[in-house]
Every structure is written in C-alpha cells, then in structure tokens.
Chains A and B, each alone.
Chain A
C-alpha cells in the first residue's frame, strides 16, 4: 500500500492519497483547493499512480474543496455518502454504509459516522497484500487526535432535518464510541484536521496521526461517560467558528461558485 498525508498548514488540514503499488492506482481523500487539484495529480504521477476516484468524508465548512475539480480533471467519480444527495446541488457518485471499494490490493470500507455533519463517513483501509485486518482509518472530522469534530456547524444541513447542536453531539458520541472504537485497537487514526484547526475543540493535537487504542485511553472528549456529558464538554471546549464558514460551506454545497467566493473575500 502507498499512503501519503498532505498537510496544509495554514488551515491545519490533512488530505490523503492511498494507492496500490501493484495496480498502480490511487484514490484521493478530502482534497483542498488551497493546494490545488493539480498538486494531487502531480503527486500521484510522481508515484506512477493513476487516480481512479476522489472521496470526501463530508461537506467541509472550513476550507474550499477541490474534489469536484479533481474528479473532473481525471474523469473519475467524486464519492460522497448517499445522504448528501439531499444537501448538494451538483452530481456525485453516492456510496452507502459498509460499501467496499477495491483499489488494487487496498480495500476501502465506508463507515457512516454522522455527528459533525449528517453525511459524515470514515474510511477503513485494509492492505490485503499484508493482512485481511484493517490497518488504518481516515476519520475525517469525526475523531481527531485528542479531540472530536465540532457539532455546531449547522448551515446547509437543514434539508436532513436532523439537527440541533446537542443532538449532533450525541450522534457524534455514538458514532465514535460504537463504530470507530469498535475497530481493532491497532488500527491507526488519520484525521482531516489537527491542532490549529477550528473544526474541533481546544484539545486537538498537532500530531496528525494516532491509534484507536491511544484515543480510547487519552481522548479527553471521548472519556466522558455519557452522550450528555460529552455534548456539554464539546460545547464548552469549542473554538470560534471557522473564518468564512458560511460562504465556504455554501460553495462546497454547490450553492455558490468559486468566483463568488473569491470576489467576496477581496
């Protein structure tokens, strides 16, 4: 398996390339427009890999996504959880909970982990060349190192009619506890953000990799005993909203164009 983490430091954002060295194929996760679709294309080409798909854990609220541009540039599918159909104004390829994608010998299994957003999905990664047990999980904005995603970025999700902040926090608690923490403890955790990002609370680590075992023992938010305590703690430790959150989210939902965002920022 080939895995590469790309860190965009100004927003403490991490995107990923995962590929198979045999099949010479790769998929990209959560690409960020600040790095540019071209940069992912060049990174894959440097590794001799052909990009066969672009995945997003969720519709992001703190950075402009380039998943659509990257998918279009490579003429490959842009994948989002099927519930995003209700949210976004553009075409994408929906996946379901528990769906399996084979990238050569690398197996990607979707785990629906709502809470930060309703469509939020984590991706379990198995390198079948080494083992049929999973090796790592891309946790997006559900589980961070030492912290969890914030549940209060509600804009644009009303279509799913799920959510006040507290319900979302409780949903997130269940997602992490019942789904991610049910994974084997050796599984590595790769989040979409790390310390400095406004998508989590004040306890996020600047280290952008962990394990299920470490997070079970030391994640401050997840050490709360009940969803209610968890929700209160998450609210208490939240940071200010991400800069430009509303306009960024609108763009990522397909409600506004890239040009409008740029103009508004000027």
Chain B
C-alpha cells in the first residue's frame, strides 16, 4: 500500500503492526503503530496469545520482503491484515507524513529517577516473581489491550522486560492509548548486570516508598 493508503486505513481504525526491532521502532515510527517484532518461528503463536482478533491490521516491516511473509503468517493464523506499507519509513517520510518516537530510558536513568516512574514489568508471572525492580507492577505482555485501563497513571510508566522486545510491544500499545510510557532499553538483563536491587516477592500493585 502507498503511504496515503496506509494513512487513510489508519483513520478508519486499522492498526499498524511495526515489525522492526524495538530500537528503530522507538526512534521513529508511524503514529499509533504497535511494535510487534517479526520472527517466522513464533509470530503466529505470539499474535494468537496477544493481539485482538477483531481489529484490522497493516504491516510495517523493513525491508519489504519481511512484510509479505508476515502477512502470510498472520492471515493463516486468522488475523485480518489489509496490506503493508511499501517502501517503509523512507517512503512514508518522503510523502511528508508525520512520525512519532517512544521515549527510551537506560537502566541507569531509571535507577536514578526510580521514584518518578511507575515501573511496569511485562514479563510472565514466573519471571516477575523470580526477581523484579522494587515496586514494579506485573502486566504480562499477553494482556495489555484488556488490562491497561487498570494501570495507575499517577506517574509516567516505565516499561521493562528481559531485554526490550515484550516491553516495547506493551509500551507501544500504551502509547497508542495516549499513556505516558517510556521503554527501558536493555531491561532486566542490564538492570541485574549493574547490580541494581531486585525484589523477589510478587506484587500486583505499586506500593511507593514502602
């Protein structure tokens, strides 16, 4: 699809699935796009676990051959995919269409300003219980569309996972819903490597300064 066709489809409710890795996604993406990283082995399974079936999707992947393969996989899994953005971001910008960014945080920045953020850990429950950033809320990556309304919005959200794939997905869904979400790049791997504190007890809600 041309950039103009993609823009028009988005206006009528289609959701852009941006299949690039989290870093290029965070730096610049189509407004409202959801970051869902490509992988032939488990794309169908992950989509099944997390993406709503009642939406219409458009693919943004780079370069284009990835998009055609992604459409095949998602269509076979029963998702309605209308097409893909031909020529990627370069073409989109050449038409003068707007983009947005997802704010990035390093683990050092998060550690310095931990009291200013509501940390949302998007790993699965067992990973969360094994050790998480003190005060973090567990919001499994499989359920952001349903449960994001229950998130406290007293503070900006800082999304974390093992690295940044699942957290970027959830962060993008939250950003799409106009929430103030940042992506913690490097995730728990970097956090643990720095020797920053972790909490092993499960917590469902934020308990600041406790």
Contact = CB atoms under 8 A, between A and B. Distances in A.
Given A24-B21, A73-B65, A74-B63, A46 B165 contact: no
Contacts of A37: 65
A48 B37 contact: yes
Interface of A: 24, 37-38, 41-42, 45-46, 48-50, 73-75
Given A48-B165, A50-B21, A42 B41 contact: no
Nearest to A39: B65
In this complex, the member of B21, B24, B37 whose beta carbon has the largest number of chain A beta carbons within 10 angstroms is: B21
Given A46-B38, A46-B41, A48-B165, A41 B66 contact: yes
Given A45-B38, A46-B38, A46-B40, A38 B65 contact: yes
Given A38-B65, A73-B63, A74-B63, A46 B23 contact: no
Contact of A24 (B19, B23, B41): B23
A143 to B, nearest CB: 33
B61 A50 contact: no
Contacts of A38: 65
Q: Is the interface of A mostly helix, strand, loop or mixed?
A: helix
28 contacts: A24-B21, A24-B23, A37-B65, A38-B65, A41-B66, A42-B65, A42-B66, A42-B69, A45-B19, A45-B38, A45-B39, A45-B61, A45-B66, A46-B38, A46-B39, A46-B40, A48-B21, A48-B37, A48-B39, A48-B165, A49-B21, A50-B20, A50-B23, A73-B63, A73-B65, A74-B63, A75-B63, A75-B90
Given A41-B66, A73-B64, 6 more contacts: A37-B65, A46-B38, A48-B39, A73-B65, A75-B63, A75-B90
Contacts of B40: 42, 46
A74 B20 CA distance: 13
Contacts of A46: 38-41
A112 to B, nearest CB: 31
B24 to A, nearest CB: 7
A50 B24 contact: yes
A2 to B, nearest CB: 13
A40 to B, nearest CB: 10
Nearest to B19: A45
A97 to B, nearest CB: 32
B65 A41 contact: yes
Interface string B136-172: 0000000000000000000000000000010000000
A38 B63 CA distance: 9
B148 to A, nearest CB: 24
A38 B38 CA distance: 14
A50 B88 CA distance: 14
Contacts of B64: 73
A156 to B, nearest CB: 30
Nearest to A37: B65
A49 B21 CA distance: 7
A24 B61 CA distance: 16
Nearest to A40: B65
Nearest to B23: A24
A26 to B, nearest CB: 11
Interface in B4-50: 19-21, 23-24, 37-41
Contacts of A24: 21, 23
3 smallest CB-CB distances across A and B, nearest first, come from A38-B65, A45-B38, A73-B63
Interface in B58-114: 61, 63-66, 69, 90
Contacts of B19: 45
B155 to A, nearest CB: 29
B180 to A, nearest CB: 25
B178 to A, nearest CB: 28
Contacts of B20: 50
B196 to A, nearest CB: 18
A70 B37 CA distance: 21
B161 to A, nearest CB: 13
A210 B24 CA distance: 37
Contacts of A73: 63-65
A241 B37 CA distance: 45
